[in-house]
Structure 1
């Protein structure tokens, strides 16, 4: 991870927040919503930030409820959900998580704001950093996407617009993910500001009662639904854990409902309602509990929140025979970087 110490420059950013005006954050996932709050707390967005969740997403509604129970940073407000992306004025800061969204990219071409801040959106954030720090003609497209000419052209134009903003000092990326020194240097050479954080706002909130009560907590995964690992390998692993139960299972928001029903039928495994980010839901765990997860960005953030309190967060490195043909070497490498220092092993 890059050697910059999270929080070192926060006081300076807060001093300059008054000059930065207001911000609008368009969020489409629980992690994006949480990180928008953290970016405001860090003084990166200005005095006033309106966080606008996309409507009709139950996970966002659950996250909004959880955040409203906590003490939001002064100047941060949780707006009502909206169907369409709200575009800020040209003099506002625009906060987004999904830089690969066609709607976001199209809006950059028609009404680029004064400043853009990109917050974490899982593994896609690392891909964005690699594309920004790489060849300037690379279009901003998701991994494993076979784009037609119109979509590739939009991605290319959006990439050029974002790189132009970086050169003008109008692009910041705010992340808690592990970023190598080499990648961080490449991104900063573009002129973009790369800000690393450690969930300072969330760490300052009351822990509340520990939940759940099981000693082993397993985070669900989207790898099965995305066709990247074999379904039976995953369920064989869960069966082994359940045999040693009890296990608390927190679903991934993209898990297939049929798979989740099968998890509920596994002996020894209790499925909890998902929705809010694991960073919020599990921050009250005690030192006699542990978290197990396949490679996931949540592993990094939960280690930041839980390891100092003596709660182990163990990432399971995926065995070679679990992967399907759709999981190429590059994707496997990206995912496995979150399994470093793991102590959990497949059963």
Structure 2
């Protein structure tokens, strides 16, 4: 990934032309990447980042970002319950393109441009669906959608592909996009811009790093029913019995599971909410990060490579997976397991 790629320069040209932008964010990673997108010039000269209300991880991330030197022209606003409307002369930025709120808003308003920022693994699925046929619905990989939800996803897919064809769609990502998929997205007319957290890397470190040598990133795979709970806790217990471990929760982990993690000998659970990219970017060379397949692995490698910190993905044994983990999902997750991903910039 290359924050100074030609795509970013194109984004700066957009900013001179656009005016203003509104970014609606529903997760800490989306909020951080909206700030990066504004810094890269992909949004507008003036951008408002609006978090969804009543989500504690967003409140914590909002507070942490507000303590840093935000890019000129960017405003972090108070949370709102509903996604705001974007007018024709405004760029509308979102992270979760599969959200019913987002898709409904796309059909009831027509922003001048649409920018998609990272929302974890769902971003890769979106790119794959975007390159499909015009009538392919934008639906999440898991779950059975009813007729009305499928109809909304189909209409949203048409709207997004139409925006791509007219040069009004940009995707801003730090994720490893295979070269073939990246080219297919660009062939649809969409602008694909990669970045390496340029703004965040320029900010001073505000949080002390954990003292433990080994840091484990929490996972949503247990709560989502994709891996067996007991296998996961047996693995954690083995780590904690070998050495002290710092555990940074995933925002979707079940509170009862977190309580159980904290009861494991040798494991200390740290406060969650803030993206790992912000919390762990100050680690030292003698430390290491362990994680099950996760988008955070990719971004932390970008941020920590210069510091000599090992960021290791733990391969999930076959017996850990539940029947809910379809082969296609496992294949998606494997994209984040290795350094050599065929990434295009």
Common fold by TM > 0.5: yes
- Over residues 137-177 of structure 1, what are the superposed CA-to-partner deviations in whole Å (9 max), with x where a residue is unaligned? 21000002211111101100110011000000000000000
Deviation at 1:185, TM superposition (A): 0.8
Deviation at 1:245, TM superposition (A): 2.0
Alignment equivalent of 1:259, drawn from 257, 263, 283: 257
Query: Are residues 1:335 and 2:330 paired?
Result: no
Which residue in 2 is equivalent to 1:7? 4
Which residue in 2 is equivalent to 1:246? 244
Deviation at 1:36, TM superposition (A): 0.1
Cα distance in 2 between the residues matched to 1:341 and 1:243? 29
Which residue in 1 is equivalent to 2:278? 280
Identify which range, 14-23 or 215-224, moves more after superposition.
14-23
Which residue in 2 is equivalent to 1:345? none
Unaligned runs of 5+ in 2: 341-345
- Over residues 177-199 of structure 1, what are the superposed CA-to-partner deviations in whole Å (9 max), with x where a residue is unaligned? 00011100111111010111111
Unaligned runs of 5+ in 1: 343-347
Aligned Cα root-mean-square deviation (Å): 1.3
Cα distance in 1 between the residues matched to 2:213 and 2:134? 48
Alignment equivalent of 1:111, drawn from 98, 109, 112: 109
Query: Are residues 1:147 and 2:145 paired?
Result: yes
Cα distance in 2 between the residues matched to 1:80 and 1:109? 25
Equivalent pair of 2:212/2:244 in contact (CA under 8 Å): yes
Taking structure 2 as the reference length, the TM-score comes to: 0.96
Deviation at 1:340, TM superposition (A): 1.2
- Over residues 33-74 of structure 1, what are the superposed CA-to-partner deviations in whole Å (9 max), with x where a residue is unaligned? 000000000000110110000111110011011111111111
Which residue in 2 is equivalent to 1:191? 189
Question: Residues 314 and 51 of structure 1: is their aligned pair in 2 closer, same or farther, counting only changes over 3 Å?
Answer: same
Equivalent pair of 1:208/1:284 in contact (CA under 8 Å): no
Identify which range, 17-26 or 5-14, moves more after superposition.
5-14
5 Å-filtered alignment, 1:96-245, equals 96-208=94-206, 210-245=208-243
Deviation at 1:211, TM superposition (A): 1.1
Equivalent pair of 2:86/2:110 in contact (CA under 8 Å): no
Cα distance in 2 between the residues matched to 1:303 and 1:8? 18
Q: Helix, strand or coil: the match of 1:338?
A: coil
- Over residues 110-143 of structure 1, what are the superposed CA-to-partner deviations in whole Å (9 max), with x where a residue is unaligned? 1121110000000000000000012222100000
Cα distance in 1 between the residues matched to 2:319 and 2:15? 50
Identify which range, 81-90 or 160-169, moves more after superposition.
81-90
Alignment equivalent of 2:71, drawn from 55, 70, 73: 73
User: How many residue pairs were aligned?
Assistant: 339
Q: Helix, strand or coil: the match of 1:313?
A: strand
Deviation at 1:222, TM superposition (A): 0.3
